[in-house]
Amino acid sequence: MRRLLAAAAAALSAAALVALPGHASAASSPVPEFDFSACPAPPANADPGTWRCEAFVSQGVLTVGDREIQLGEMRLTFSEGEVDGKFAQVFGELRHTPAPVRGAFGATMQLKYGGYSDFLSNDERRGELDLYAVLRHPLLPMECTVGTLDAPLHSVVKDDPAVPFEVISQNPKTVKFGVVDTRLALPRTTGCGPLSPVVDHLLGLPSASGKNTFKQLTYVQFKPL
**How does residue 105 score in pLDDT terms, banded at 50, 70 and 90?**
confident
In the prediction, which pLDDT does 3 show?
41
Q: Please give the angle made by the CA atoms of 199, 102 and 97, to the nearest 5 degrees.
A: 90
**How does residue 29 score in pLDDT terms, banded at 50, 70 and 90?**
low
Q: What's the pTM value of the predicted model, to 2 decimals?
A: 0.84
In the prediction, which pLDDT does 123 show?
87
108-129 mean pLDDT: 95
**How does residue 1 score in pLDDT terms, banded at 50, 70 and 90?**
very low
Rounded to whole angstroms, how far apart are CA atoms 156 and 127? 6
111-115 mean pLDDT: 98
34-61 mean pLDDT: 97
In the prediction, which pLDDT does 127 show?
96
Task: Using the Cα atoms of residue 97, residue 100, residue 101 and residue 102 in order, give the sign of their dihedral.
Answer: negative
For 36-88, give the DSSP string.
-TTPPPPPTTPPTT--EEEEEEEEEEEEETTEEEEEEEEEEEEEEEEETTEEE
Q: pLDDT digit string (tens) for 137-175?
A: 999 999 999 999 999 999 999 999 999 999 999 999 999
Rounded to whole angstroms, how far apart are CA atoms 48 and 213? 40
Neighbours of 196 (CB within 10 A): 17
Strands 173-181 and 166-170: antiparallel
The overall average pLDDT reported for the chain is 89
> Is-cis flag, bond preceding 172, omega within 30?
yes
For 115-160, give the DSSP string.
EEEE----SS-SEEEEEEEEEE-TTS-TT-EES-SSS-EEEEEEE-
